[in-house]
Amino acid sequence: MIRFQDPIYLWFLLIIPLMWLIRKVAVTRKMRQLKKFGEPSLLKDMMENVSAIRPSVKFWILNGALALLIIMLARPQMGEKSSTEKRQGIEAIVAMDISNSMLAQDVAPSRLDKSKLLVENMINHFEDDKVGLIVFAGDVYVQLPITSDYVSAKMYMQGISPSMMMSQGTDIASAIRVASNSFSPEEQVGKAIFVITDGENHEADAVQAAKEALEKNIMVYVMGIGSPKGSPIPVAGGGYLKDNAGETVITKLNEDMCKEIASAGGGKYIHVDNTSAAMDMLDEEIGKLQKGEVTVRNYNQYNEQFQAFAIIVLLLLILDVCILERKGKSLKWLHLSVIFTVVLCSCDGIQPDRPYIRKGNKAYRNEQFADAKLNYQKALSASDTNAVSKHNFACTLMQDLIADKSMDNQKEMVDSTVKTFVQSAEFQDNPYRKARSYRNVGWIYQACEQYEPAIEAYKESLRNDPNDDEVRYNLALCQELLKKQQQQQQQNKQNQNQQDNKNQDQNKQNQDKQDQDKRNQDKDNQNQDKDKQDQDKQNQQQQNQDKDKQDQNRQNQDKKDNQQSPQNKEGQMSKENAAQLLNAAEQAEKNTQQKLQQGARMNSGKRLQKNW
């Protein structure tokens, strides 16, 4: 199937009939002029070298070359085609609960992450089956229609989060009804709905919806995830979700309700915990489903086909040069085989990267991404300006990101992938392919929760392909998520400011309290010093009083002693009187000794007279 990327240029093909009319007029005028010279039949015998056919042949060769050049301007493309295949498989739709209670961590790493791993394991075991994805909480959305494109299913599953839902709840009934209407009309094919939920705060009519699905030969399996004991729900910024009364919300698995729905839907209830038992049971139940003929539609991308037209134009121009308008032996025909050989040899170097691209596309379709990546790298080495090679190489890089499941921790790889997609879009003249490149850029940023660049990428994709409903949905989703993210950041900032103000007030109060304590301590010290001074003063006064009292007592005693005789009634003296008498005696003895010494000095100074 051939398509034209720029079909507007095909209007230039109207030049061909216009040139035919011009030539028709010119030939008519020429014939009129020849008739003036004589009868045309007679003149023909006189012009043996003139050919009536060769000018027409050369005219139509040149017009054919012109028509092919116009077709080349319209950019003919070929290669994308749809084909249907009949395979033996089943149809399965996963209805995943993404309410806030799925963020509980009683199942590691969380209920929602465990659900994603469970679905990814189920898809990995699919071969010729079809899978669809529905998300629900208070509302229900079809995240991915039923398809056999497992790569897209895994890609869309990574972006699921509770922030996608405007209203909370667990509307299992609506999810089952939407899933029942999402299957293909094919019969004799095993169809099943796998509901992954914790069953909390469920709406009514879930059991009735499961019975209605069973009447359509659609089995309903319920995979209850979580713990019956319950677990708190973590919130962004730390802490746990609280109710209006300020109490921590505890979410519990409602196993009774899950079993009731599974029983009504003809399926089985599977409890999902931290072990791998649920995955084994799920694989076993899928193996029991009836496999019938599943129609799978395959698509191939368009490839530029102007090269073939260019070769034909070149051949026509060479042929036009080889054909002369006059007849004669002097014509020297070029050997066409030599021309074909030269042309084909020269055309081999037009796109040396084309074989590598074909090998890479084949490996990519077979999910051999490493081989595809190697072939695309070889194609880029041969021609680094080929937009198709860059786009396909970027797709393999995106598959590496999906396989690693750590886009937030692979910033350099994310930047490299985005840069390659943008370069492929810049080199691309095809708006559809350019839109696909920016769509992938938007998805990568969305998976990294960088919603602002994701919005810009989705807008650029819609500028090139306004009819892409999926991009419009992702654009609206990113705008809503960005709004919530900004509100959350603003709330966190306000909380931080309040906390900072609270800390400042607390610090100020503590400082004031310390200052007051210091003042009180200084005051207490002053009071203690004053009390000490008062105490010293009192002690001094007490000492003075005691001294005065002692002096008074001494005076009274002396007075009393003076009034008594030096000897008491019994003929004894007091101690003080005895001391006074002793002192008086010592003083008298001292005076007597002084007189004797004085007399001795005086006698020693006189001459003794002889007594004869």
Identify the pLDDT of residue 47: 64
Specify whether the CB–CB gap between 208 and 263 falls below 8 A. Answer: no
Task: Encode pLDDT of 484-527 as tens digits.
Answer: 888 888 888 888 888 888 888 778 788 878 878 777 777 777 77
Are 193 and 225 in contact by the 8 Å Cβ rule? The answer is: no
> pLDDT tens across 544-594, in order?
666 666 666 666 666 655 555 444 444 455 666 777 777 777 777 777 777
Residue 601 has pLDDT above 80, yes or no: no
| CA atoms of 146 and 186, how far apart (whole Å) | 13
Please report where in the chains the tokens 């399996």 appear, as a residue: 221
> For residue 397, how far is the Cα from the chain centroid?
16
Residue 334: pLDDT band with limits 50, 70, 90: very low
Q: What is the pLDDT at residue 604?
A: 47
Lowest-pLDDT range of 99-108, 210-219, 288-297:
288-297
How many CA atoms are closer than 13 Å to the CA of 426, on its beta-carbon side?
A: 8
Q: So what's the pLDDT on residue 407?
A: 53
Report how far apart, in Å, the C-alpha atoms of 253 and of each of 111, 112, 140, 259, 262 are: 11, 13, 21, 11, 15
pLDDT band at residue 332 using 50, 70 and 90 as cut-offs: very low
Query: What whole-number distance in Å separates Cα of residue 427 and Cα of residue 197?
Result: 46
Across 83-92, 357-366, 398-407, least confident range: 398-407
Q: What DSSP line would sit under 484-507, residue for residue?
A: HHHHHHHHHHHHHHHHHHHHHHHH
Q: Which token pair is 14?
A: 């109207």
Could you tell me where the DSSP H helices lie in 405-468? 411-427, 431-447, 451-464
- Yes or no: say if 99 and 169 are a contact pair by the CB < 8 Å rule: yes
55-69, 457-471, 583-597 — which is least confidently predicted? Answer: 583-597
Cα torsion 526, 531, 532, 536: sign: positive
Average pLDDT of the chain is 76
Q: Are 220 and 197 in contact (CB under 8 A)?
A: no
For 335-372, the DSSP string reads: PHHHHHHHHHHHHTTS-TTHHHHHHHHHHHHTT-HHHH
Please tell me which residue, 1 or 28, carries the higher pLDDT value: 28
- How confident is the model at residue 596, as a pLDDT? 67
- Helices vs. strands in the chain: H and E counts, helices first: 19, 13
pLDDT tens track for 382-428:
766 666 767 777 777 777 767 665 555 567 777 777 777 777 777 66
> Residue 193 — very low, low, confident or very high, per pLDDT cuts 50/70/90?
very high
- 439-460 mean pLDDT: 83
- The C-alpha atoms of residue 327 and residue 241 are separated, in whole angstroms, by 97
- pLDDT band at residue 95, thresholds of 50, 70 and 90? very high
Query: Taking 70 as the threshold, does the pLDDT of residue 336 lie above it?
Result: no
